[in-house]
Amino acid sequence: MKQLDRSDQRLLLDIARLSIDAAVRRGAPAGAALGQPPAALNEPAAAFVTIHERGELRGCIGLMRFDVPLWINVREAAAAAALDDPRFLPVDESELPALELEVSVLDPPVPLPDPAGFVAGRHGIVVERGMRRALLLPQVATEMGWDASQMLDAVCRKANLPKDAWRDPSTQLFVFESTCFSQAESSHAPSEPPTA
């Protein structure tokens, strides 16, 4: 996926916001008023949308669909993060003004044959064994202050596997990198210089 410029990032954050508002208020899905999205947002890419409220996690859902346009994955992940994250009650209309959004655009995961190659803070991680599967975004390690083994333990626990399952050769590990941006960054970022 090519790098998204600041205007593309702002548009994705707007799509996520509109989608959450529409989902919570039971309105029409966001995107009807979007018109033709920029080419970069029509490229297929997986995406996660994370919702915070007053600094606390309020929902996070991702769609690992690499054959669907990015803006559609963001729209659908945003609505799901607001209403369908099983860890939280659905977002209520009264909460909408306080929500802070973050979008992560994921590169496709690649197999990690040796756990020693995992770099906490740079790589996101996917663990699979049998029917159990879980994923942690790269920024989780930074937010939690985890090193590589703590991050690997955590993703195994999230998949309901023993925390050291990542050491077992029958456990499959995949890594990915992502581009992450939030409304807070977008609103404080300097505007792009005009191009001639």
Residue 180 buriedness (CB in 10 A; 0-12 / 13-18 / 19+):
middle
Contact 141, 151 (CB under 8 A): yes
* pLDDT tens figures, 44-91: 999 999 999 999 999 999 999 999 999 999 999 999 999 999 999 999
- Residues 163-192 have a mean pLDDT of 81
Give kind and range of the element (H or E) at residue 133. Answer: strand 132-136
Residue 184 banded pLDDT, cuts 50, 70, 90: confident
- Res. 94: pLDDT tops 50: yes
Residue 24 banded pLDDT, cuts 50, 70, 90: very high
Q: How far is it, in rounded angstroms, from Cα 16 to Cα 10?
A: 10
Percent of the chain with pLDDT over 70: 89
* Strand order from edge to edge, sheet including 56-63: 56-63, 46-53, 99-106, 178-182
For residues 31 and 82, which has the higher predicted lDDT (pLDDT)? 82
Q: How far is it, in rounded angstroms, from Cα 43 to Cα 81?
A: 22
pLDDT computed for residue 9 by the predictor: 95
Q: How far is it, in rounded angstroms, from Cα 20 to Cα 27?
A: 10
Residue 194 banded pLDDT, cuts 50, 70, 90: very low
Residue 185 banded pLDDT, cuts 50, 70, 90: low
Give kind and range of the element (H or E) at residue 76. Answer: helix 70-83
Residue 36 banded pLDDT, cuts 50, 70, 90: confident
* pLDDT tens figures, 98-112: 999 999 999 999 999
The model's pTM is: 0.85
Domains of the chain are: 6-107+179-188 (3.30.700.20), 110-176 (3.30.1490.150)
